[in-house]
Amino acid sequence: MGEFVRVETEGAVATIRLDRPKMNALNAQVQEEIGAAAEQVSADASVRAAVLYGGERVFAAGADIKEMAGMGYAEMAAHSRRLQDAFTAVARIPKPVIAAVTGYALGGGCELALCADFRVVAEDARLGQPEILLGIIPGAGGTQRLPRLIGPARAKDLIFSGRHVDAAEALRIGLADAVVPAEEVYPAALAWARRYAEGPALALRAAKQAVDSGLETELATGLEIERLHFAGLFGTADQKAGMRSFMEHGPGKASFTGR
């Protein structure tokens, strides 16, 4: 457990909780602790889904500008590698991940939310990539994950202008997957995660890896990735249980063990 990032587990759902007052600024220590938390959640077989949460007030308002302002090229080249590695560890958690976004998710905070599979956003939340207003560009995946999610033109608009979007626009453009009152954000994300936690863990992992890997390549290679994952699941106990239950009881009644 880190000083500013901790993993809280309830049943089969883990919460990666950011807690660096006041705004969860993502300094080097927080970045390192995020990566460590992601690795912990990935390795824990008892965890079947996860929630990213910054608390009731704010998700994460971005990088620690005071820490970065004096850096030169060589220092930032090394720092940005560690930053990307930490966020990539979140994106590669082989389980469903839901970001519970309250308050602000700006800059690095927005990029962290992009690492989740889904985003539950508070009605009064604001999201965006305002790095251009500092004379830089997003450096933790914003220029890559954002256009893959909402399309290149919409992503360029947010990145080029640095403007914030409210929850309604975020939902309209696909940056948010659900919008709820602020006090319901975390319970809604937990409920979403619990729904996946009851599913076949190996099939969910294969589905996530097939989708994410397929988006990075051409269709033929993506289809081959899918085929191999599909065939591999026929060596799992969950596949046997799922198909046996379907034949005996109909769809949607199987119990899975994650093996």
Hey, which residues are catalytic here?
111, 131
Count CB neighbours of 71 within 10 A: 13
- Ramachandran quadrant class, 103 (left: phi over 0; alpha: psi -120 to 50; beta: rest): left
DSSP 184-225: GHHHHHHHHHHHHHTS-HHHHHHHHHHHHHHTTS-HHHHHHH
Crossing angle, helix 73-91 and helix 28-43, to 10 degrees? 30
Residue 60 DSSP class:
B
Rounded CA gap, 131 and 110, in Å? 11
Rounded CA gap, 88 and 207, in Å? 18
Length of the chain, please? Answer: 259
Residue 4 DSSP class:
S
Rounded CA gap, 42 and 172, in Å? 31
Count CB neighbours of 226 within 10 A: 17
Q: Quote the tokens at residue 150.
A: 């909402």
Beta strands 49-53 and 13-18: pairing type?
parallel
Cα-based angle 224, 220, 236 (whole degrees, multiple of 5): 15
